[in-house]
Chains A and B, each alone.
Chain A
Amino acid sequence: GESVGLHLPTLSVQEGDNSIINCAYSNSASDYFIWYKQESGKGPQFIIDIRSNMDKRQGQRVTVLLNKTVKHLSLQIAATQPGDSAVYFCAENIIPSNAGKSTFGDGTTLTVKP
């Protein structure tokens, strides 16, 4: 079956460095991808999304890259801050037919060292 998975379960970076979190997906029909950030004991929060007709999308300090050829998604965080420490999930979906039923990966834990 389809799955969304992350290459590494944990990532540790120095404050001020850039972070890159990777994600692989297997459903070639997926056309919408989302990154969420989950802080301890809280619900996930939307960070950024990208549709399959795009390769790159930028937000505030974050960039998502999509490589449909190899079914790979990445989240880049510039100048990582201690407040960025959290678990990051990628999710994939088919819009609108899947009624928002995103498939989530297991998450990457990002730790920012001061």
Chain B
Amino acid sequence: SQTIHQWPATLVQPVGSPLSLECTVEGTSNPNLYWYRQAAGRGLQLLFYSVGIGQISSEVPQNLSASRPQDRQFILSSKKLLLSDSGFYLCAWSARATNEKLFFGSGTQLSVL
């Protein structure tokens, strides 16, 4: 069966520090991969999606970047965090063949202080 791992679960970082969140998927090949951000009490905002290794599309201009060094690995990064980067970050995958429902990781609660 397919599983998605996302870490860390919580992170407290000072303003101006770098960020690296990692997500890996097991049990499937060639998935579409996504990074979403969720503000408290709100819906999900798509940040990045990837349809293959090295292929990244950004949905909103921001202080973050994403990379996909391997087929089932997706990384969210920042060189210098801002206060506004605080939020709940979710990685997700969908099957390439169908592009339908998303399977989410357990999320990372990021607090930038």
Interface residues of A (CB under 8 A from B): 32, 34, 36, 41-46, 49, 89, 93, 95-96, 98-102, 104-107
Contact = CB atoms under 8 A, between A and B. Distances in A.
A96 B41 CA distance: 29
A43 B90 contact: yes
A100 B49 contact: yes
Contacts of A89: 43-44
A95 B100 contact: yes
Given A100-B100, A100-B102, 18 more contacts: A36-B102, A42-B107, A43-B6, A44-B44, A44-B102, A44-B104, A46-B102, A93-B99, A99-B32, A99-B51, A99-B99, A100-B34, A100-B99, A102-B46, A104-B44, A105-B43, A106-B42, A107-B43
B13 interface: no
Contact of B107 (A34, A41, A105): A41
Interface of B: 6, 32, 34, 41-44, 46, 49, 51, 59, 90, 92, 94, 98-107, 109
